[in-house]
Amino acid sequence: MAKYSANNLIHSIIYNQFIFRNAYPADLVVATDSSINVFELKRDRLTSIIVNQIEKEIRKHLYYSLLSERVVQKNVPEVFNFYLVCLHQGNKKTKDLISNIYESLQSRIQYPRKNSLIFLEYELRNGTLFLFQA
């Protein structure tokens, strides 16, 4: 997260099972005055079976984060990062489908905010958890 300069992590607040309004709870949210970072954790690989669920989560988090009283903010933060964390895989087709859905949903928001989708994958190697950007 530190590679995005707008995150200003030194002044961040971390929430577990955070609900923006009446949306699905986000597994983890890291909020600052200038950014909202939502982490959705998936236990398995991304498959076409869970794409509809992910689309609902993305939609609600994107839109409700604009209106949430629960996020510490003077104005709506300038950056919204949606991190989709899943088991390591090679399923580019599903990632492309989710990316297209995300692009379509975020393009409808008429607010000057940078919205990003970041795929993070994890795997266990010799009992050690590795997390990397896909």
Q: What percent of the chain has pLDDT over 70?
A: 80
Tens digits of residue pLDDT in 70-85? 665 566 678 889 999 9
SS3 state at 99? helix
pTM of the model: 0.83
Alpha-carbon distance of 34 to 126, in angstroms, equals 38
Closest to 79 (Cα-Cα) out of 119, 45, 48, 109: 109
The CATH architecture to which 5-133 belongs is 3-Layer(aba) Sandwich (3.40)
pLDDT value at residue 113: 84
Domain ranges for the chain:
5-133
pLDDT value at residue 66: 77
Q: Counting beta carbons within 10 angstroms of the beta carbon of residue 40, is it exposed (0 to 12), middle (13 to 18) or buried (19 or more)?
A: buried
Averaged pLDDT, 41-70 = 84
Decide if pLDDT at 2 tops 70. Answer: no
